[in-house]
Structure 1
Amino acid sequence: MRYSPTRRRAVAGLAAVVGAAVFLSGCGGSTPSSSGKDAAEGYDPKATVEITWWTGQTTEAEKAAEKLAAEYHTLHPNVTVKTSAGATLTDDLLTKLSAGFTGGNYPDVSYAFGSWAGELANSGRTQDLSDYVKDPSFGWDDFPAAARETATATDGTVIGVPALVDNIALIYNKTMFDAAKLAYPTDDWSWEDFRAAAKKLNDPAKNFYGSAYSVSGSEDTTWHLWPLLWQHGGKILDGKKPAFNSDAGVAALETLRAMAVDDKSMYLDQTDEKYSPLFWSGRIGMIMSGPWEMLELANHKTNYGVVQLPGYNGNHETVSGPDLWVAFNHDDPNRAGATRDFLKWLTSKETDAKWNLSIGNLPLRTSEQSTPQFTAYVKQYPGGQKFFDNLKNAKQARPTLAGYEDMSRTVGDAIAKVLQGKAQPKEALDAAAKQSAGALEDS
């Protein structure tokens, strides 16, 4: 769950490239039955069973995952949780799942980026946890709404449970603000306030920039537009039809275009990999980013602050990029049932406090704010409390449908053209809507 911002953004681009091909090929091989019966029907909690967990973690976090798997086995001696490390880092998971679907060798549970959820739901290999999570003992409503929505396909099927929650806020460099004699941003800031501060912080002679934006065309480019779209009252989709090219979408993109083209106060990152390090080192005054930045900010001893995103007419809505533990069906009720019980334990208030909070992520559950681990987290990471509080502003989720990846890439390319002065917002978004309509209708 803890991974660098570079890795987070790079994988979104990878998913966009391989997504469609992966799940076309994934339809081959043997497919679990789709009789409509629950995958865990007939589950015997006392049966001896081994389940496979593709954790998608880096080496450090993988060690923590292995300890958790061993702890679960101690509590449930009849269940062995086999972790897969190294070969299943998140960067490779989508292609490996595809190969596994084709050959019938896929895990019982796997980490997955939320932007993949629609493709995975369309694979025919996932369990339906809809009834399972409704049990009061699961505490489904304890997870943020956007995370629950991401785990839920358009047909209402719940394919997994949240593995990571986050959101985008405004992170600012206090040292640069002090040098420019500017007051720090506040939670009440408008986009006009943001634009004005960026212009004052900008200093081309020193290679200082007021803010930054990705123009790689990846999901990192796209999902930063969604909060502005929602704040203006717009929608990403209307059913399965593109709706992001509405007046609200045009106004949202124009806000960014004015800063990038007219003011030239935005560092435009072609790779997704440069703007965070430039912020850590004090060359960019403000970035719109998430809690994954805080570990590197601490490592670089950056003097920073966090506030909610600038707002439009008082609306400070943000976007969340929840990731999932996706549960897969193998036509074995004991494996299915054991997988569900493991996920319930893994994402419980008690276990998650030892897992996500220990590696610097936000807690999965609202109730974790009362734990000692959360107290230690907000003390260790300035801004941790603000990111946690900002979850209330994540009121909508990215669509969980198979065509999202194609649409995201198309919208990302349109945004990049506009911010580089190669197109106007209206024409670019209209073209993106037309281009992505087919993929959405077929999803």
Structure 2
Amino acid sequence: MSDPRTAAPSRRDVLRAAAVLAVAAGLGGCGKSDPETTGGQVTVDLWHGQTDTAKKALDALIAEFNRTHPDIAVIGGGGGVTADSMLQKVTAGLAAGSYPDVAYIFGSDLASITRSPKVADLSGQLQLDAVWPAAKAAITVKDKVRAAPALLDSLCVVYNKKLFAAAGLPAPKAGWTWDDFVATAAKLTNPAKGVFGTGWPGVGDEDTVWRLWPMIWDLGGDVVSEDGKKVGFEQAGEQALATLDKLRTDKSLYVDPKPGGEQLYQVFLGGRMGMVATGPWQLPDILDRKLDYGVVPLPSYSGKAVTISGPDTWTVFDNGSARVKAATEFVRWMLDAQQDVRWDLQGGSLPLSTTTAALPQWKKHAAETSGLQVFVDALETARVRPTITAYPQISEHLGTAIVSVLLGKKSPADALKECVEQSNAVLAVPS
């Protein structure tokens, strides 16, 4: 999924990871000399892929770090690609023996990239006591801390108050069910006015898939079984897909045919969609359009709140001990609440820690931004996708299943059966 803070968000394009797994697994190679210095400073090459407001915020933080750490010079060139393409860029660099000291890596890609021995182990190097559990889980691979948290989000439902009023519907409230969601979407739908109840990405990428995991978790399923030998969503997945199928047959669902959910969000921003599951990165665009909106937690089957978070990471690479030490110092500094709150306010992240969330600057920002606190509160029950190398391929198979249901090409049972067989075959191959 792309950087959530861009104007046209495309959350995580995990599927491209599958194409590079084999390459990443065998990476060793040679890196840069230890240490590389410029005028007595240790140079840290940072590839971040941020654009627009987020880049401006990061540039300011890098400048302050360099000013307050005269022995280190962080060069934030960005790597020449956006965050969406960073995994490919870094993987190619590792294969060629020319790679950064720090890169912005999506959390769902971390397990894949850590197959390279050049990814530093940060266990014991970061202060993580107050970091949200979802962020800690996203940086942990095989019980080792392999990165620092860089960005945090959560998934909730944003709704259009004007469309709810026009349909004579009360605003949704925390504790609502997926049956409530389906019924509400049907009542919001107005074909004569081109209004849809809700929408879902329909290209089979990670943006299509990650929205289904909270539904599966809520039903007692999981991405993989406890022993890791098979998927854990054989029953729960069918019920979750049946919910999508009901939205389809009710004709209340807009299926976005383009990657990144660009059209889906444009339909919502244009006032022609009643509800959309999204993250806090969408709020600036909603505010710019001056939509009268509200934010509510995701529905559930069980009555218990559950959502998903898709944290991103600062991953450190080994270009020698001096540069690893300097790079680690930089990501540790970024994690500190005083820097984190600036990054959150200007770059678009939720607070990485409860310490940051308690700062007056964040509290003021949350109070002034309608619905933002709902996304923060959702972090209490947020889960993340497992940091396993097989995940991108499982996601690809589940994405195909979801699209086949969204387009009415297969029943939930048939689509899931094929997905489970393909995913179990992936898990049967030793990683």
What is the TM-score normalised by the length of structure 2?
A: 0.92
Q: Secondary structure at the match of 1:172?
A: strand
Cα RMSD over matched residues? 2.1
Give the alignment partner of residue 67 of structure 1, picking from 53, 60, 64.
60
CA distance in 2, matches of 1:110, 1:256: 36
Give the alignment partner of residue 420 of structure 1, picking from 395, 407, 410.
407
What is the TM-score normalised by the length of structure 1?
A: 0.90
User: Structure 2 vs 1, CA of residues 148 and 5 (structure 1 numbering), >3 Å: closer, same or farther?
Assistant: farther
**What's 1:90 paired with?**
83
**What's 1:429 paired with?**
416
1:244 shift after superposition: 4.2
Give the alignment partner of residue 384 of structure 1, picking from 367, 372, 376.
372
In structure 1, what residue type is equivalent to 2:18? A
1:24 shift after superposition: 2.6
1:67 shift after superposition: 2.0
- Cα displacement string for residues 87-107 of structure 1 (whole angstroms, at most 9, x for unaligned residues): 132133122112210221111
**What's 2:279 paired with?**
290
1:28 shift after superposition: 4.9
CA distance in 2, matches of 1:191, 1:59: 37
**What's 1:203 paired with?**
190
CA distance in 1, matches of 2:357, 2:144: 29
In structure 2, what residue type is equivalent to 1:385? Q
Give the alignment partner of residue 162 of structure 1, picking from 146, 149, 155.
149
CA distance in 1, matches of 2:158, 2:384: 22
Give the alignment partner of residue 119 of structure 2, picking from 123, 126, 135.
126
1:32 shift after superposition: 6.7
CA distance in 2, matches of 1:234, 1:307: 23
1:29 shift after superposition: 6.1
CA distance in 1, matches of 2:197, 2:276: 9
**What's 1:360 paired with?**
348
Does the 8 A contact of 1:2 with 1:57 survive in 2? no
- Cα displacement string for residues 164-220 of structure 1 (whole angstroms, at most 9, x for unaligned residues): 111111111001001111100000211111111111101112111111111110111
**What's 2:243 paired with?**
255
User: Structure 2 vs 1, CA of residues 303 and 392 (structure 1 numbering), >3 Å: closer, same or farther?
Assistant: same
In structure 2, what residue type is equivalent to 1:4? T
Q: Secondary structure at the match of 1:228?
A: helix
Does the 8 A contact of 1:244 with 1:429 survive in 2? no
**What's 2:223 paired with?**
236
1:128 shift after superposition: 0.8
**What's 1:322 paired with?**
311
CA distance in 1, matches of 2:422, 2:76: 41
CA distance in 1, matches of 2:362, 2:96: 42
Does the 8 A contact of 2:188 with 2:196 survive in 1? yes
**What's 1:347 paired with?**
335
**What's 1:223 paired with?**
210
**What's 2:110 paired with?**
117
* 1:16 is aligned to 2:18: no
Unaligned runs of 5+ in 1: 34-39
CA distance in 1, matches of 2:384, 2:30: 29
CA distance in 1, matches of 2:165, 2:364: 29
- Cα displacement string for residues 387-433 of structure 1 (whole angstroms, at most 9, x for unaligned residues): 11111120x32011112111111101101101221112222112112
Q: Secondary structure at the match of 2:80?
A: coil
**What's 2:160 paired with?**
173
Does the 8 A contact of 1:166 with 1:387 survive in 2? yes
Counting matched residue pairs gives: 419
CA distance in 1, matches of 2:426, 2:209: 17
CA distance in 2, matches of 1:423, 1:23: 30
CA distance in 2, matches of 1:314, 1:197: 17
Does the 8 A contact of 1:171 with 1:289 survive in 2? yes
1:297 shift after superposition: 0.2
CA distance in 2, matches of 1:30, 1:391: 39
Does the 8 A contact of 1:212 with 1:275 survive in 2? yes
Does the 8 A contact of 1:31 with 1:125 survive in 2? no
**What's 2:6 paired with?**
4
1:289 shift after superposition: 1.0
CA distance in 1, matches of 2:331, 2:151: 13
Does the 8 A contact of 1:229 with 1:244 survive in 2? no
- Cα displacement string for residues 367-406 of structure 1 (whole angstroms, at most 9, x for unaligned residues): 1222232133214421111111111120x32011112111
Residue pairs, 1:11-50, within 5 angstroms:
12-13=12-13, 15-17=14-16, 19-26=17-24, 27-28=26-27, 30-31=29-30, 48-50=41-43
- Cα displacement string for residues 312-332 of structure 1 (whole angstroms, at most 9, x for unaligned residues): 1212211111111111112x2
* 1:310 is aligned to 2:287: no
1:59 shift after superposition: 3.4
**What's 2:324 paired with?**
336
**What's 1:57 paired with?**
50
CA distance in 2, matches of 1:264, 1:210: 9
CA distance in 1, matches of 2:7, 2:235: 32
